Amino acid sequence: MGIAKKPAPAKLVVAMLAPREEWFDRAEAALAERFGPVDYRSASIPFDYTRYYAPELGDTILRRFAAFAPLIDPGTLADVKVWTNALEQAWAADGGTRRINLDPGYMTLAKLVLATTKDHSHRIYLAQGIYAEVTLTYRNRDWHPCPWTYPDYRSEAYRHILHDIRALLAQQLRTVTEPRPGSAD
């Protein structure tokens, strides 16, 4: 029989979609107030992989990734998604259309997991109407898509961003697990 143990901490990553940069800045400020300082911010890049978000966000959509310095318990992902959904709703325009889309997830050294409200055969229910999916796996020094991974997450641009975030995570985990000078370890 295996013994249950606490999981290793993970890096909170939020992928954002918005029609204007100012929404990214506003979201990062709110997210940082809740989850701690941003330690990685990607450049804003055009999001032209699908027209799915155009009715809400318009014809010109940008993507930005933000990652946060404090590592999180991966078991809190449902709470994070519920909170980001509430933030989206609070900022929605008259009529309820979103001005920004916030997709939180977490990264470990082996995978990127994203939260969603949509169930599907490959998604696992967490809590509070929230599901999780492994979107990318890391092996042989690169990120690899799963059969269900969205086209944008398959792109080289996203893989470069995620490599940078993973490098930050690896450094943080070395700091967490290495004994400090003068410790009894």
**49 lies in some domain:** yes
Of 47, 15, 19, 43, residue with least CA distance to 31: 15
CB atoms within 10 A of CB 183: 7
What pLDDT score was predicted for residue 102?
98
Q: Are 132 and 123 in contact, with CB atoms under 8 Å apart?
A: yes
CA 45-163-173 angle, to 5 degrees, is 130
Length of the chain: 185
**159 lies in some domain:** yes
Write out the E strands in the chain. 10-18, 38-41, 45-46, 62-72, 101-107, 111-116, 124-127, 130-139, 142-145
Domain that holds residue 135: 10-175
Domain total for the chain?
A: 1
What pLDDT score was predicted for residue 120?
97
**87 lies in some domain:** yes
* CA dist., res. 70 & res. 161, Å (int): 19
**1 lies in some domain:** no
**4 lies in some domain:** no
Query: Which segments of the chain have a pLDDT < 70?
Result: 177-185
Global pTM?
Answer: 0.92
**73 lies in some domain:** yes
Strand partners, 65: 15
What pLDDT score was predicted for residue 185?
43
**181 lies in some domain:** no
**86 lies in some domain:** yes
